[in-house]
Structure 1
């Protein structure tokens, strides 16, 4: 059994379901693994049971720093839906099973092993190599990286960082591509408040039902369309794939002509997306509601603002007796495509699989990377290579039953993180 498999099994067997998290147990396990290898470790916690680990191999002080980002919390796992114990960490047919195997204790284990093996070999870069195993990524209640950049900025400040978000190996148009996430959309949900007049449900004609008034607005939101645009990440992806970049209005058609997967990758990245997901009206069956509140999930492109989104939504819905309130803004950051970190990704891909290419992409959701980009201007990529399990299977397993990761992908990830550390830190 390899070191990364053993460590991942031990991490999976610690139930860090968030809420409540209890990530301190994972942080202490990682510290106990790393310190004997000579890696400097420190725990930072807003509350004792929600600790974040920051591990470091200090550099000589004359080069750039690299942070390997990860999180140790996981989402709920219902054992009744699983074929195996979700916190068992079993190895079956060359795969490690358990909640967090893909999201993202596998990368946690690989990052720790990369640091430990480099430290044991006596490696020292020109700049610091850091490993941040953060709490609270899945919920985001202010116990993890968001809190660290505010309360302990010097502990996590980095020139470059690597995190989850991409790394999938895909084959399209006769080419092998490894996706590298260089940007993320912003989560910018809105609350649509539709007004009416309450009354007794037995006499509907004397009231003005806000729920009924909301129905055509919800239907309109479900039909939302806007002119497509090509952000740099999608243009870069298409350039690697096609050797050329089509016009924005033709991009989806061209992608569909290549393969359904190509279209699935770029479609949510051509414009802001709008999805009504929750509605609340009367709390009693016999009361006609005077107010209906509809939660609308909105994801906007890097460079767009919630104010832009609000103007677009109002233009789409038209005038009416409703309010539209932005209730969150997270993510929506990007890093340059190119430079030392991009070169490290491309050189690794080429060495592991001659002829394969790294292709930029934007994450349709968002990760903790945005905290470093916003706080320090960090060049942050999402890249943890995976080729034994196809991307569509992995996508179905994340946050779902029977989550598992191939051992060979864990070992591939360790090799990449070691390579990136030596290439970027010098």
Structure 2
């Protein structure tokens, strides 16, 4: 990261990270400005001998360009071609071979760039999605597609998930190419579509174009870089080696359909559904610690400056019975600055996401449904056991609990498939990519602990995991809990300085794969 006129070192003291460098000192424009950092005025050469523009190596500038494209995906894919065309031009300016892969859905495309290496090692794939979830514009303080910088934070749909990560990784690679670097392996950068939803995501791409994305290891979204209580000083750097198990349930309540002028008090689908939701809303699945989550919480206890929080974590890890474990988990959640993240890492979660009932105001409907999105811990509580618990809980309510599978799949088949996913082991830590992630953390964040972790959400890693390819995840920027809540929510944003530091981190990761000489 270059400051004007002096260069800011890529490795900053742990406590100085976000607090000591003002946004204005970095030359960042506010309230919608382009905000380019000053880079070397005379770039060197690329693979083709052309110069790389400084703006393409500036993570904020590139992120703002990414955010300006509306790639909302409401469930049937998004319009990603204009975004892909912009990135294609970025890669072409660097002399990197790049192509757009069309899907059967118009303007919904994948982009694959391939930096050729020596071939001494198997290719590394960087997996980042271009689509984003929809926005509720009326609930945003700024234009969600303008990339505005306000008080040191860049706002926009996808700023965190995951155009910010894409920008940090791409600009880090371009900095290496600007220096004339060569790598010991091909580095494939896949900017895919349909990650949030749709039929033509990484699974479709793997089925039709596997030779273009075949790799020895994969890095995608995942692990969080979380802060101490001041919201900015790095506390713990994590990279995920496993995702939670994604599954859906549906509650269905039925009643008598009739005229709304004559309601039947004890025969209402909506009332029955409301009572069931109230019961399930108060329910929490039991705590389950696995080797992966134990590693994470042990590192968290070492990392925090809050002695009470550390003591609560150690109580959780030492608990000998369920009663003590549950009480300790509640204390950990209460004391954590990231309570919803840490709750999600301890138990199966369930979230009420879609409700449907009724079609006319003078008709009492005969049916009400509620979709529940669930995330289970691999090696913890099995999804089938969670389903059984929900059915026991609601056995006295007039609702049916259905397991939602893929089209044509029976409940038995769905649960068997989830059993297989639940039993999938975490990615091996004895790989050069994992060592690169760990080493880059030490060099970039100094004495901040680095740990493997479980990702509380899901990724596009399925096709590679099925083939035994190790895959890991990072969101390479320090975030606050408020920013974390903004993921898939309103006013999504990240710190500008954290993004810049995250690009430095990724630069160090890729340094491990540079050839000598």
Alignment TM-score > 0.5, same fold: yes
Two-structure CA RMSD over aligned residues (Å): 3.3
Structure 2, gaps ≥5 residues long = 1-35, 38-56, 303-313, 407-417
Q: How does 1:93-132 map to 2 (within 5 A)?
A: 94-132=152-190
Structure 1, gaps ≥5 residues long = none
Partner of 1:87: 145
Partner of 1:238: 297
CA deviation after TM superposition for structure 1 residue 357, in Å = 0.9
Q: 1:409 aligns with which of 477, 493, 498?
A: 498
Is the partner of 1:188 in helix, strand or coil? strand
User: Aligned equivalents of 1:316 and 1:79: distance in 2?
Assistant: 38
User: Aligned equivalents of 2:472 and 2:397: distance in 1?
Assistant: 43
1:297 to 2:356 alignment? no
Q: 1:162 aligns with which of 211, 215, 219?
A: 219
Q: How does 1:21-420 map to 2 (within 5 A)?
A: 21-46=78-103, 47-77=105-135, 80-91=138-149, 94-138=152-196, 140-171=197-228, 176-202=235-261, 204=263, 208-242=267-301, 245-247=317-319, 249=322, 250-251=324-325, 253-254=327-328, 256=331, 259-261=335-337, 263-303=339-379, 306-318=383-395, 322-328=399-405, 335-336=426-427, 338-339=429-430, 340-374=432-466, 376-387=467-478, 390-420=479-509
Which segment drifts farther, 140-149 or 77-86?
77-86
Partner of 1:7: 62
Is the partner of 1:31 in helix, strand or coil? helix
The count of aligned residue pairs is: 421
TM-score w.r.t. structure 1 length?
A: 0.85
What CA deviation, in whole Å up to 9, does each residue of 1:236-289 have, x standing for no partner?
112223466323744564463693236543322222223444443443445444
Q: Is the 8 A contact 1:231 1:270 kept in 2?
A: no
Partner of 2:52: none
Q: Is the 8 A contact 1:299 1:365 kept in 2?
A: yes
What CA deviation, in whole Å up to 9, does each residue of 1:125-148 have, x standing for no partner?
33321111112323x112332321
Is the partner of 1:189 in helix, strand or coil? strand
TM-score w.r.t. structure 2 length?
A: 0.71
Is the partner of 2:483 in helix, strand or coil? helix
Q: Is the 8 A contact 1:79 1:85 kept in 2?
A: yes
CA deviation after TM superposition for structure 1 residue 193, in Å = 2.0
User: Aligned equivalents of 1:37 and 1:288: distance in 2?
Assistant: 62
Relative distance call for 1:295 and 1:66 in structure 2 (3 A) is: same
CA deviation after TM superposition for structure 1 residue 83, in Å = 4.4
CA deviation after TM superposition for structure 1 residue 230, in Å = 0.6
Q: Is the 8 A contact 1:27 1:52 kept in 2?
A: yes
User: Aligned equivalents of 1:214 and 1:77: distance in 2?
Assistant: 28
User: Aligned equivalents of 2:142 and 2:362: distance in 1?
Assistant: 46
Is the partner of 1:352 in helix, strand or coil? helix
CA deviation after TM superposition for structure 1 residue 372, in Å = 3.2
